[in-house]
Structure 1
Amino acid sequence: MLAAAAWLVVGVLSVLALGRLVYLDDALSWPYSALNALTPLLYLPVYAALIVGFGLRRNALMLATVPLIGLHLFWTVPELWPGAAEKAPDGAQQVRVLSANLLYHNTSAGRLGTQIEATHPDIVVLVEASRLTLGEVRKSGALANYRYQLDKSAEGAFGYAVYSRYPLSDWAAPTVGGKPLPRMTVTLGGGRRFVIYPVHTIAPTSAGDTQQWRAQLDQLATEVRGSRLPVVLAGDFNATRDHRPFRRLLSSGVRDAHDAAGTSWSPTWPATTLLPPVLRIDHVLASPAFAVTGYQRGGHDGSDHLPVIADLALRPAPPIGYVPGQG
């Protein structure tokens, strides 16, 4: 009975892993979008199958688990392995970004104010900013000293707001996948500029939603590739590194601040259960023009997401006419 159950586990997980390897998760986005998100946990039963094979002396069973364990480690270890943050280059302009999904019906959203006051971010990106949640954060007083503000709060889950110590301009919000995809330009001291995107994609919880979610992530990748300025994308992507559309976004010319800072496993969702969060779907992504000098996950504020805070340093602009690789 144990051996049969172990073989069933190996068989089912082998089919799922093979589908991912041959890009079936791209052709059949749903339900792969849900299954791939659970990669760190989904493949854990294969280790139990290995133990069963060892205990029952079933060599074939043990051998069958080896490729799955290898794939699981290959896919998961980069998310878990700690490293070291980068150093800010001389002359770089440092910017701390705090991003939080407030959960639009969260009556305790004002608790985020304590974290804002403690961490002193230069830019605060808030998604699921409803009249209720944004009002609660404002009541805390933590946003009062931000001179530049863009308030696009709205009922439901797709309002947003950006608070900045630096000027904001050139706001635009084209509709992609049925939802706004906002962006704006931040101007730092000395005139250096970058584009920031407050991101909140649709959750890929059905076939239709998954198509819209992919369209949003693909459009973000197109925006990154076409931008003449460095970019920062911050918010709730409803995606992990195990999602192919998210990996395509990373390949378009941005880095995940969590990874660049060498941070170990820091899942952000779900944060409202008795169990700890298991998925890291909230991100700060930045162009290579930014060094990532720090990253941390925030604390509970009543939302089902945990905030994230990234320390970025915009590298000095190269001299006019400079060509990389030439002295």
Structure 2
Amino acid sequence: MKIISTAAVVRPVHVPKEQRKVVSVLLWLLVVPALVWLVLRVGGWERGLLVQLMAFTPYVALWSLVPTVLAVGFRRWPTAAVAFAIVLAFAVLVMPRARTSDQGPSQGVELHVMTSNMRIGGADPATIVRLVRENKVDVLALQEFSPSGRRGLEKNGLLELLPYSSLGDEPGASGSGIYSRFPLTGAGDRRYGGGFRQAYGTIQPLGAGPVLFESVHPRAPVTLPENRLWQADLAEEPQPEADGPPRVLLGDFNATLDHRSMRKLVDAGYRDAGDATGTGLVTTWPYMEHRGVPKVTIDHVLVDRRIGVRQMSAHRIPNTDHRALIAVITVPAA
């Protein structure tokens, strides 16, 4: 295979001597913001408005190619070297999510799990039930789960597929629920500091040991006070316990893998299903409103490292701004 260098592809631009200094300054004005963003991302120093902005890191990584190409075109080699180093650093941070990595154990009992934010219960229940049926979903986690959403799902036959449940439905965006094909023990829900409820329960599939599931929905970091609640909610999410059953957290985390709080939770003993299967850059929000806002990946399936991940896919559901996630996981055999 013939390799063509960037310098050969980008035609040099000849600039009069008196304009070279201006060009150099303009190029650095393009490079420095990307460098600052990179430093903040690596250091995990997002604060205030930066919490929301950090979700767009994959887009900044792509944009960082622009000053690199321009610097090569204008033969500003020091600038090009710095810009290229920034591109490489962003690639190291972002690109692993686009390829399969450590998917964990392949032996065990296969389960199909799904999570969906119902947008204050308004998501189309028929579509959710159809996805459960067609994908043979064993456990369904719901966020923004309202009494009307519950009635709609059950009217469309959800209980025929997933007859067991742990439900914390309530009006507004704070409700949560879990439906299961298998009996649930220790079922309940807890209200986190941000005000949202998270339903949980333990199942024991045929041939497997017990597995603890929780429907996750921390507060969204929309304002400065809510930033603190969001961070506290993520810090309070349950962590795997070596002497306890394996855990699965799935839901709307209101965070991407570019947020330090999210990475800290994953590093506590989980693997992100999207990251493991090469679908970590598949976006999940927003898909209704917020026109012009770049789509980001804030819904996740996190599995205890004792659990393997085989597949993950995203699915559009009418009347909700989140895409649902369906993952195929392998839990330890009994």
* DSSP 3-state at the match of 1:132: helix
Q: Does the CA contact (< 8 Å) of 1:283 and 1:308 recur in 2?
A: yes
* Alignment partners' CA distance in 2, 1:214 and 1:304: 23
* 1:127 matches 2:148: no
* Alignment partners' CA distance in 1, 2:235 and 2:100: 29
What amino acid is the match of 2:285? W
Label 1:146 to 1:173 Cα distance change in 2 as closer, same or farther (>3 A): closer
What amino acid is the match of 1:151? L
* 1:59 matches 2:77: yes
- State the Cα RMSD in Å: 2.6
Identity %: 26
Aligned equivalent of 1:13: 34
The gaps in structure 1 that reach 5 residues or longer are 318-327
Which residue, out of 67, 72, 86, partners 1:68?
Answer: 86
* Alignment partners' CA distance in 1, 2:247 and 2:211: 6
How far has the Cα of 1:113 moved from its partner?
Answer: 2.0
Q: Does the CA contact (< 8 Å) of 1:106 and 1:133 recur in 2?
A: yes
* 1:260 matches 2:281: no
* Alignment partners' CA distance in 2, 1:60 and 1:271: 41
* 1:189 matches 2:210: no
Q: Normalising by structure 2, report the TM-score.
A: 0.84
Q: Does the CA contact (< 8 Å) of 1:148 and 1:167 recur in 2?
A: yes
Q: Does the CA contact (< 8 Å) of 1:178 and 1:212 recur in 2?
A: yes
* Alignment partners' CA distance in 2, 1:257 and 1:249: 14
* Alignment partners' CA distance in 1, 2:91 and 2:39: 15
What amino acid is the match of 1:278? K
Q: Name which one, 1 or 2, has greater alpha-carbon Rg.
A: 2
Q: Please, which moves more after superposition, 279-288 or 54-63?
A: 54-63
* Alignment partners' CA distance in 2, 1:85 and 1:288: 9
Aligned equivalent of 2:315: 298
What amino acid is the match of 2:39? L
Q: Does the CA contact (< 8 Å) of 1:85 and 1:292 recur in 2?
A: yes
Q: Please, which moves more after superposition, 269-278 or 175-184?
A: 269-278
* Alignment partners' CA distance in 1, 2:25 and 2:111: 55
Q: Normalising by structure 1, report the TM-score.
A: 0.85
Label 1:262 to 1:51 Cα distance change in 2 as closer, same or farther (>3 A): closer
The gaps in structure 2 that reach 5 residues or longer are 1-21
Q: How does 1:93-112 map to 2 (within 5 A)?
A: 93-104=109-120, 106=122, 108-112=124-128
How far has the Cα of 1:278 moved from its partner?
Answer: 2.8
Q: Please, which moves more after superposition, 233-242 or 173-182?
A: 173-182
Which residue, out of 151, 154, 167, partners 1:151?
Answer: 167
* Alignment partners' CA distance in 2, 1:303 and 1:69: 35
Aligned equivalent of 1:307: 324
